[in-house]
Structure 1
Amino acid sequence: MRIIAIEEHFLDLDIARASRPEAERLSPAFAAAYGAGQGYNYSPAPEVLLDLEEGRVADMDAHGISMQVLSSLSTQQLPADVAVELVRKVNDRAAAAVAARPDRFAAFAALPTTVPEAAADELDRAVGELGFVGSMINGRTGDAFLDAPRFDAVLRRSAELRVPVYLHPGVPPVETSRSNYEGGLDPIVTARLQTSAWGWHVETGIHFLHLVLAGVFDRYPDLQVILGHWGEMVPFFLERIEEALPQQITHLDRPVGAYFRENAHITPSGMFSQAQLQFCVETVGIERIMFSVDYPFLGNDGAEAFLRQANLPPLATEKIAHLNAERLLALPS
């Protein structure tokens, strides 16, 4: 079976160094949680995160992954004075990896959203010149969601280019972390509660709902967003959300659930749960589900087995494994 994994990361050291002060400001416990690595399987060795060559391909081969869509980490925390240059370099690095192995790699553009007009221009370059298939945005920029007026150029350009935005979790703002997660817990427990255990996913689900409720998809009805981790909790609350936010209150063109089913796609991000898969097939529909591992924070082992064990007709499994990604991202079949 052909398997395309679309949330597969790599690290650029220059971006990591430049982003770290802002990440630590947003979440003071962040460095303690991830630097300690205590009991945490999300901490790959640096050489694995950096690798865009034979080691990565060998791991894909060993576990049945046909193609990865690459994405850089941490660009939303870059200082504005260095963001444009560093993001351009990291996109060139990803483009070189794709050019070397076009049968195995594609890429999402990193965007310097701290400089929004430049971010829109970089998306143009990445899609038009480098052949990238969309963008990945890692959480808020500062305290702002993408529906803030200054980011409209990025959303407009994405819609015009007909490429999706992958909304990936980022570090929650410090105010959110303090009010919701801090208070008497062990620092490592706090840091992980506010990030990978819970906070990342709530944040990203709210980010998508902000886009909906701000009317972004009424302005750009063809804009597509991808959400990992089975839709960042939103599918499991769609009925409740629609009940509490009917159109007479939102004044939107469509019910909230329609935006999720028509403007969003979801992936598992390595959460290989058959129960969640079945729920999302029933709630969102098979055409809106694609595959992802979240490599190398999660390993490729188990990816192929998850798809083969799914209680789905063969064509439905193929849609999740590769056909839906080929259609949305215009990837070669």
Structure 2
Amino acid sequence: MTTRRDFLRNGTAAAAGIVFCSCGLLKGAHAQQPARQTLPVTVGGRRIKTIDVHAHCHFHEAGALIGPDAAKLQIPPVNGAEEAFIEVDKRIAAMDSQAIDMEVLSINPFWYDRDRDLAAQIVKVQNEKLAELCASKPDRFAAFASLTLQAPDLAVQELETAVKKQGLKGAAIGDVVNGVEFSDPKFNPVWAKAEELGVPLFIHPQGIPELNKRLAGNGWLGNTIANPLGTTIALSHLIFEGTFDRFPGLKVIAAHGGGYLPSYADRSDHACLVGPKGCNPDVKLKKKPTEYLKQIYFDSLIFEPEAIRHLIAQVGVGQVVLGSDYPYPWEMHPVDPILATASLSEDEKADILGRTAAKLFSMKTG
């Protein structure tokens, strides 16, 4: 089996397909790789601080509160999972190899189905550990807070503490909470607080268990298809239920290029015209559905320059930020596809690589 260390040594992304699903990628797995971008990254002769908004971590202290389920929840059987428990020197070495100056860390929610008090304890530990890690290496790490989102009143308090007292840059959330969509009014106080604080919420999907039967089989479809679909559903509800109208200053970052929504966004503009009985006449949107894409930021984790070009054509270059999903080896060289996108100007490349994120997080660019 290809190990995580192998990925770091040779950057052979094609090998990921072999490890995950034996998808017949052996041919070309050892093909000549192009020269990789290294630090420092320059565009047009200017030094650019690269900011990866999609990087993960875990803390053993939070797992200890879970008990026997911790290993299953924090270390799923996927490549790189064990490296979510950050050893600072090793993580920085990996970042250097990927030409990443700064990671904005997040923890995928595994506590939404836990009782209020336990979930609050997990979130408290995680936010404290995130703040401690970021303070130890402020030039290399920032982080999104965790939230007890199944208890919105707690989540509001946690978000305010995280931003005002702990120096965290927003919050990472799932794509649904115990079957309840984010457009449910119960979450409005959380969105209002994020809007008030001016910080983004990073939406990362959790899969769609109700589709497990259809997604069984080769290809890891529970992730390959279901994760982008989860994000697509979450964003679509926020649009069509009027959540973005109620909170026009709410900033959302969508993982994996926003799932399928940007690739097929124009269908959303036609749905209620073609099938009005499937739409609620009491919900009167202020804009066309596609126009809300300008309120959403999208990470660049869609692999190829052509995919990046199309995403930008749909949402605008100012809405795209760099993402890798590290330590999971989806994209071990996230800077390279941006630099290889011929349709982008030097300024646009610089924006995606770090300047847009720096502005979004109120960071210094120097």
TM-score range, shorter chain: 0.7 to 0.9
Write the distance in 1 (CA, Å) between the matches of 2:267 and 2:67: 37
Q: Distance in 2 between matches of 1:83 and 1:162?
A: 25
Q: 1:50 is matched with which residue: 85, 88, 98?
A: 85
Aligned partners of 2:132, 2:104: CA distance in 1, in Å? 13
Alignment of structure 1 residues 24-43 onto 2, 5 Å: 34-35=76-77, 42-43=78-79
The reply to whether residue 306 of structure 1 matches residue 337 of structure 2 is yes
| Aligned counterparts of 2:202 and 2:68: Cα–Cα separation in 1 | 22
3-state SS in 2 of match to 1:77? coil
CA-CA distance at 1:59 after TM superposition: 1.1
TM-score, normalised relative to structure 1: 0.85
1:254 corresponds in structure 2 to 287
Distance 1:165 1:20 in 2: 30
Does the CA-based 8 Å contact 1:76-1:139 persist in structure 2?
Answer: no
Matches of 1:298 and 1:86, distance apart in 2: 26
The aligned residue for residue 241 of structure 1 is 268
The 5 A counterparts of 1:108-127 are: 108-127=144-163
Relative to its length, the structure with more helix (as a share) is 1
Q: Give the 3 Å change call, closer, same or farther, for CA 177–96 of structure 1 in structure 2.
A: same
- The Cα RMSD (Å) is 2.6
Q: Give the number of the structure whose alpha-carbon radius of gyration is greater.
A: 2
Contact 2:324 2:332 survives alignment (8 Å) = no
CA separation in 1, counterparts of 2:59 and 2:272? 41
How has the CA–CA distance of structure 1 residues 8 and 57 changed in structure 2, closer, same or farther, with 3 Å as cutoff? Answer: same
Cα pair distance change 1:112/1:19, threshold 3 Å? farther
Q: 2:105 aligns with which of 63, 70, 74?
A: 70
2:221 corresponds to which letter in structure 1? L
Who is 2:347 aligned against?
A: 315
Q: State the 1:19 CA deviation.
A: 9.3
TM norm structure 2: 0.78
Aligned to 1:158: 194
Contact 2:99 2:333 in 1 (8 A): no
Which moved further from structure 2: 318-327 or 294-303? 294-303
Percent of aligned pairs with the same residue?
25
2:291 is aligned with 1:267: no
Which of 318, 324, 331 is the aligned partner of 1:287? 318
Give 1:104's aligned amino acid.
Answer: R
SS in 2 for 1:153: helix
Query: Displaced runs of 4+ in structure 1, greater than 4 A?
Result: 14-17, 19-24, 246-250
Find 2:225's aligned residue among 183, 198, 222: 198
Measured at CA, do residues 50 and 198 of structure 1 come closer, stay the same or move farther in structure 2, by a change above 3 Å?
same
Q: CA deviation at 1:121?
A: 0.5
Aligned residues: 309
Deviation (angstroms), 1:306: 2.1
